[in-house]
Amino acid sequence: DTAVSQTPKYLVTQMGNDKSIKCEQNLGHDTMYWYKQDSKKFLKIMFSYNNKELIINETVPNRFSPKSPDKAHLNLHINSLELGDSAVYFCASSVGGGNQPQHFGDGTRLSIL
């Protein structure tokens, strides 16, 4: 009965490759997010989708392309991976509008060799 689930949990790959991370929520929320947590634990929002529509795009390189096929899913595709992309990526969801609490997945640890 996991609320926000991400796959894979770990992702190890080489520079230049393309990879995807998937996220699904079963909370009935209509807003989903991607956050990046760097090696110093700093969390920064990357994208936010409300009802499949992109709401927030925080000056993320266009190598990162989110895709929301429906309200319950938000995937993240990354092209031409770079060393600096190594981080933990968190998916989250909330009820849209206002500042409702966000529910986080357990994260995907991406390591670039």
Partner 1 sequence: AQSVTQPDIHITVSEGASLELRCNYSYGATPYLFWYVQSPGQGLQLLLKYFSGDTLVQGIKGFEAEFKRSQSSFNLRKPSVHWSDAAEYFCAVGAGGGGNKLTFGTGTQLKVEL
Residue 66 touches partner 1, criterion: CB under 8 A: no
Cβ at position 53, least distance to partner 1 in Å: 10
State which of residues 21, 60, 87, 105 lies at the interface with partner 1 (CB under 8 A): 105
Separation of alpha carbons 66 and 31, rounded Å:
13
| Ramachandran region, residue 52 (left: φ > 0; alpha: ψ -120 to 50; beta: rest) | left
Question: Judged by CB, which is closer to partner 1: 14, or 39?
Answer: 39
Closest to 48 in 3D by CA, of 38, 62, 35, 59 = 35
State which of residues 25, 102, 110, 112 lies at the interface with partner 1 (CB under 8 A): 102
75: β partners: 67
Cβ at position 85, least distance to partner 1 in Å: 19
Residue 56 touches partner 1, criterion: CB under 8 A: yes
- Edge-to-edge strand list for the sheet holding 64-70: 4-7, 19-25, 73-78, 64-70
Cβ at position 22, least distance to partner 1 in Å: 15
For partner 1, the binding residues in 4-43 under the rule CB under 8 A are 4, 31, 33, 40-43
